[in-house]
Amino acid sequence: MLISAIVLFSLAMLLGIFLLTFVLRGKHTPKAVAFTHGPLAAAGLVLLIAYAFQHRPAPIESLLLFAVAALGGFVLIAIDLTRTSVPKWMAVLHGLIALTGLVLLLRFAFL
């Protein structure tokens, strides 16, 4: 379960980096990528929550960070669809929070 979550988050991260290149250049984000990135990360989060319910110790820090990143993701997609452009700082912050969550998760799983 943990490994599956890591795989899903990693795929989401790759797509997220790809999306970030569009946001930082002030370009329209391809929505097929945005709408794949979100569900991948959401599926990872669901697996992580399930893992946390079933195992002790659980990666609570990364779970919390991913939850915050998910909320940020909702805000970002809402802004992306309804306003002219996504604030770059917000996209970078969302990415950094998720990345920290992934690093902590990797440390929890493998160290």
Partner 1 sequence: MKKTSLWKEDADASAYPPLQNDLHVDVAIIGGGMTGLTAAHLLAGAGKSVALLEAWRVGGGTTGFSTGNLYATVEERMHAICSKFDSETAHAVAASRTAAIGHIENLVHRLAIDCDFHRRPWRLISEIPQNNKILEKEFHACREAGLDAYLETSTPLPFDISRALRIENQAQFNPMRYAKALAAEIIKAGGSVFERTPVLRIKEGSPHSLYTENGTVTADKIIHATHSPKGVRFVHTLMGVHREYAIAVKLNSNNYPEGIFWVMSRPHQHSIRAYTDSRGESFLLVLGEPHKVGHKKDNESCFRNLEAYAGARFDVKSVDYRWSAQNYRSADGLPYIGALDEKTGVYIATGFATDGLTYGTLAAMIISDLILDNENPWAKLYDPRRHNPLKSAGRFIKENVHVFMDYMHDLPYRAEAKIVSDIRPDEGKTVVIKGEKFAVYRDEAGVLHQVSAVCTHMKCIVNWNAEAKSWDCPCHGSRFTVDGRVIEGPAMIDLPKPETGKPH
In the complex, the residues that contact partner 1 under the rule CB under 8 A are 18, 22, 25, 27-28, 30-35, 80-82
- The answer to whether 47 and 8 are in contact (CB under 8 A) is yes
User: Minimum CB separation from partner 1 for residue 16, in Å?
Assistant: 14
User: Please, which residue, 15 or 63, has the CB nearer to partner 1?
Assistant: 15
Our CB check for partner 1 shows the closer of 1 and 35 to be 35
| 4 vs 21 by CB, closer to partner 1 | 21
Residues contacting 51, CB < 8 A, separation 6+: 1, 2, 5, 58, 59
Q: Do the Cβ atoms of 111 and 19 come closer than 8 Å?
A: no
* Residue 102: Cβ within 10 Å count: 21
Considering the complex, what minimum distance in angstroms separates the CB of residue 92 from partner 1? 19
**Beta carbon of residue 42, minimum distance to partner 1 (angstroms, whole number):** 14
Nearest approach, Cβ of residue 57 and partner 1 (Å): 38
Residue 83 is classified by DSSP as: S
C-beta of 22 vs 108, nearer to partner 1: 22
Residue 25: DSSP 8-state: T
